[in-house]
Structure 1
Amino acid sequence: MPYCTPTCRKWSVFGFATFFLVLGVVIIVSWNGLVQSIKDQELNLGSDDTTEYKMWKETPIPMYIEFYLYNWTNSKQVIDAKWLVKPSFEEHGPYTYSEKHIRKNVIFNNNHTVTYMTQRSWHYVPEKSKGSLDDVITTLNPILVTVGSLVKYKHPIVRMGVNFFIKEKGVNITVTKTAREFIFDGYDDPLLDLLKKLHLRHINVPFDRFGWFYSRNNSVDYDGIYNMYDGTDDIQKLGKFAWWNYNHETEYFPNYCGEVNGTSGELWYPIQNDQYAQIFSPDTCSTLTLVRQGTEELHGVVGHKFVGDEKLFDNGTRYPDMKCFSPGDVLPSGVRNVSHCKFGAPAFISYPHFYLADPYYREAITGMTPNKTEHELFISIEPETGIPLHARVAAQINLHLEKIDRITLLEQVRKEYLIPALWFKQYAVLSEDLANQAKMLLILPSIGQYTGFGIIGLGCLLFIIFGFITWNNYRKGRQEETLLNNEEY
């Protein structure tokens, strides 16, 4: 075994000290850039090999949707009293379904975008539900009010003809069906045939049965075709839509209200200091803008919380810049008209139980009990990675009911109502396993910094040892020189 002299050991210590000192400095200087490079490479949709793509292709986070149906408990009394009695409603549910999203027909484009479609599937979860899908529910007849809305400005002869058909088919102002029929299964309705025969302009009803989510389960086409930025050229654009159904804006709302903005709500860029989060919703054919309000912690990961405030469903009554979401409407604040987006049906979206809406809607009927805990819409996003921690979409579908002359069932209505049909709560919570992966991404910069300083500390320690050895050798040399000088004398 080769022998290392004291001088050899000394300079070996010096070499290692220098190496560790330089290595530590290099790690500290370059680590953050290396980590960011890894993030930029993995947190984008540039190819089907990235971590982000694999999580986006088939969302790994468990998702659920709860449906709540409103039963009109006193419809007969209201009609018999010629609408002098307030309509009363009782909430039934939740009828809970698990929800799964799979991206289909994915195309990677040369302009840093991805084109795709989404298949959404739902499966009933009885253990998370209350009641049964066979529960019988009575509600305002949605096809009747749709037909009434479509012909209300037509010539009286047209309305009289429609009214004759309504009487001939024995249509009522209410419809009673099971929960499963109202949600996914659908039911036959003679007025649907009438809609098809009327050949009204811009009205093309693509289904033969009615159900609020009829024909949507496992459908690839229903939500349309999306094109969004993949984040390869700019991570701050990741997940933002470039267009929907080949258009940069929808035909349903004018001005900026019709612009296709925001993300799908499932894939986010690093939001950092953003004060707003925008989600494009095909169900409303428009963008929902949420406002940052505080933070939320989940499994040790802290995210910025963005919530829907009273402005979200304002129609220009309180916030003039929201007027383009409800052109021509004179209803109080708190609802968004989506009738043009829903085949002409007089449908309005609001928060459940008219939460944050003008009291007008709750006072016109009974049974509404809004509260923030149950009815708030929000999403929490980790700001550095853009990973959603907790999301909840809560929205209510209401039908606009008004007096329409020459339609017997509707001409006795004394005022305008928004009759609640159902509300749903869609939610997803990041699992602890995925949260731990997010935490690893977040602490990587600190790991590099601490490692670098630790190696520098080791280098400094070796320099101290080198100094001690050098001093010790110097001291021994002086002692030996003194002894030699004494021997000469």
Structure 2
Amino acid sequence: MKLSFYLHKNGAKYAMLTSIGGCISILGYLIYILNPLQLILDKLLTFQPGSLIFKLWTQPPYEVLAKIYIFNVTNSEQFLAGKEKLNLTQTGPYVYQEIVHNSEAIFNENGTLTYKPIRELKFRPELSVEDPDKARIIGPNIPLLGISSYMKNEYGLFMNLGFSSVVNMVKSPSLTNLSVTEYLFGYEDPLVELASTYVPSWIDFTKFGILDRLMSIDNGNTITMHLSTNTTSKDDILYQYSVDIFNGSPGLKQWGYREDIPEENSPCNTVEGAFESGVFPRHLKENTTVRLYRKAFCRSTSMIYENTDYTSSGMKYYNYRIDQNFLSTSEENPENKCFCKNSKKCLPKGFGSLDPCYYGIPIAMSQPHYLNADPEIRKQVIGMNPDQEKHDTVMKLSPELGIPIYARLRMQINLNVSPDQIVTSSKPFQGMILPLFWVELGIYDMPSYLGILINIAAQIPTIEMVTSYILGMIGALMIATVGVCVIRGFNQNRSDVESENQGLESSPFLSIPVQPIIRSEFKLLR
């Protein structure tokens, strides 16, 4: 009766505690199975109109800085007289913030996105070494040397003699003395003016500035990128956010890409599968190579995984470094073979031709200060001091979000002057590869909210696991507590019953010796 009364008195309370404990345990199990925080994050990072990742992509919140270092000629008279090697001194940095806006985004029915990136530069005087309007640079006359080399490579003696007469007529100098702003963004040159007047289909600008030409090529492009993974690909995770077609083609026709003969194509003339927008697939695996493409550099480049590391706050990231063979000769790196098909002579190790992207002018790309380049070319001039720490290209990539948290893209622009120059003012430079300037494109200050988001994304699996375990333990503890209370009540009731039974057995009424008394009474009656 007492046990029944005990259960009746506390049953409702125990039932409620058991129900709550069960619900908490089930909630912990569901968190473990369904990963709700990960689902919410996936929703935020789904590339669709209005989503967080789409807004970040449309106007990237990074502070991307372009640091420009220009090579200044310090012994012009001695060099032109043939007495000394060309002596170059690096000046800079002149810092410009690159502002990117991905405009006219169109979501296509086939799971791709078409857009037009717009890039502009904003001068940052507080980060620059001096005012580029006042600083002066003595450097090679790029239009003279570039056009004369183009003419020498593409035309015969008669055309070159005619061009030499034009150069003499306009008195084009071998070296120019310009402000940094003029050098980078444009100045009036008589050869450029003549070419734009009489051959506008070739030279479509009236002023020449080396950085202005780079920015011009990087703007006005139409890109289509994949949004979903390709289930037919062997490694479909690298398909998402990669280039599908660039200006109507999945490859670079200037390097021999043929849509009608796909077997002749190779990675060096294909941009499909490369990344251009700064967004990478999430949950990248270690040892994954990613290819980058930027039209100004006229080719895609591979970034090779090095190792995994963590920030001081525990955020995981992958270290990447540019493929050390990306500018090797075709003998050392067969994938570079297509870059030599349209040239009469392949460039030495460490140099990549940009001719097809720059009006046929023999512009050559290298790493800064001829890092990893042929040592013999480095000996042509004085002032090249390669340093891997300062001049290599590196990137740190968050695998959880697929965005870079640190990047230093470093490239140098050079002028490849053809040998046997006919133009008299070009002869001192013939057969040389002339360093012009190098640029470091870097991701610097990352918005604090983006850092918080990356940290949260990195900790979500741990948070969900710990939460599910804690909830499971709390629920189990509550159910176990109810069980202990019921068992204690049962034991207490049994103890009480046993005590009562023992009391009855020791009663004085049950201990009276009845039989002896009856016998004595019978004796008296007799």
Residue 18 of structure 1: aligned partner:
22
Residue 515 of structure 2: aligned partner:
none
Amino acid at match of 2:190: P
d(CA) in 1 for partners of 2:45 and 2:217? 26
Which range moves more in the overlay, 468-477 or 392-401? 468-477
Cα shift readout 1:296-346 (whole Å, capped 9, x = no counterpart): 544632311111142122232422332222334333200110111111111
Deviation at 1:85, TM superposition (A): 2.8
| Structure whose residues are more often helix by fraction | 2
Which range moves more in the overlay, 468-477 or 342-351? 468-477
d(CA) in 2 for partners of 1:4 and 1:108? 65
Change (3 A) 1:170 1:74: same
1:404-419 matches, within 5 Å, as 404-411=420-427, 413=429, 416-419=431-434
Q: How many residues align?
A: 477
Cα shift readout 1:140-169 (whole Å, capped 9, x = no counterpart): 111112211222142322111111110000
d(CA) in 2 for partners of 1:250 and 1:321? 14
d(CA) in 2 for partners of 1:488 and 1:405? 130
Residue 258 of structure 1: aligned partner:
269
Which range moves more in the overlay, 203-212 or 165-174? 203-212
Residue 465 of structure 2: aligned partner:
449
Q: Secondary structure at the match of 1:340?
A: helix
Amino acid at match of 2:340: S
Deviation at 1:251, TM superposition (A): 1.4
d(CA) in 2 for partners of 1:450 and 1:481? 46
Amino acid at match of 2:187: Y
**Cα pair 1:404 1:411 within 8 Å, conserved:** yes
Q: Does 1:6 align with 2:4?
A: no
Change (3 A) 1:361 1:276: same
Residue 42 of structure 1: aligned partner:
44
Normalised to the residue count of structure 1, the TM-score between the two structures is: 0.91
Change (3 A) 1:265 1:316: farther
Q: Does 1:481 align with 2:501?
A: no
Change (3 A) 1:356 1:216: closer
Normalised to the residue count of structure 2, the TM-score between the two structures is: 0.85
Cα shift readout 1:362-381 (whole Å, capped 9, x = no counterpart): 11110011112211111110
Deviation at 1:220, TM superposition (A): 10
Q: Does 1:288 align with 2:301?
A: yes
Match 2:389 to one of 366, 373, 376: 373
**Cα pair 2:144 2:426 within 8 Å, conserved:** no
Amino acid at match of 2:359: F
**Cα pair 2:146 2:417 within 8 Å, conserved:** no
Deviation at 1:125, TM superposition (A): 1.2
Larger radius of gyration: 2
Deviation at 1:227, TM superposition (A): 0.8
Residue 365 of structure 2: aligned partner:
349
CA RMSD of aligned residues (A): 2.4
Q: Secondary structure at the match of 1:44?
A: coil
Deviation at 1:4, TM superposition (A): 7.9
Residue 60 of structure 2: aligned partner:
59
d(CA) in 2 for partners of 1:4 and 1:12? 14
Change (3 A) 1:379 1:463: same
Deviation at 1:102, TM superposition (A): 0.8
Q: Does 1:143 align with 2:143?
A: yes
Residue 223 of structure 2: aligned partner:
226
Deviation at 1:35, TM superposition (A): 4.0
Residue 110 of structure 2: aligned partner:
111
**Cα pair 1:24 1:453 within 8 Å, conserved:** yes
Change (3 A) 1:355 1:236: closer
Residue 206 of structure 1: aligned partner:
204
Match 1:393 to one of 402, 409, 416: 409
Amino acid at match of 1:13: L
d(CA) in 2 for partners of 1:132 and 1:253? 39
Q: Does 1:426 align with 2:441?
A: yes
Change (3 A) 1:162 1:456: same
1:225-244 matches, within 5 Å, as 225-231=222-228, 236-244=238-246
d(CA) in 2 for partners of 1:93 and 1:319? 34
Change (3 A) 1:221 1:298: same
Residue 350 of structure 2: aligned partner:
334
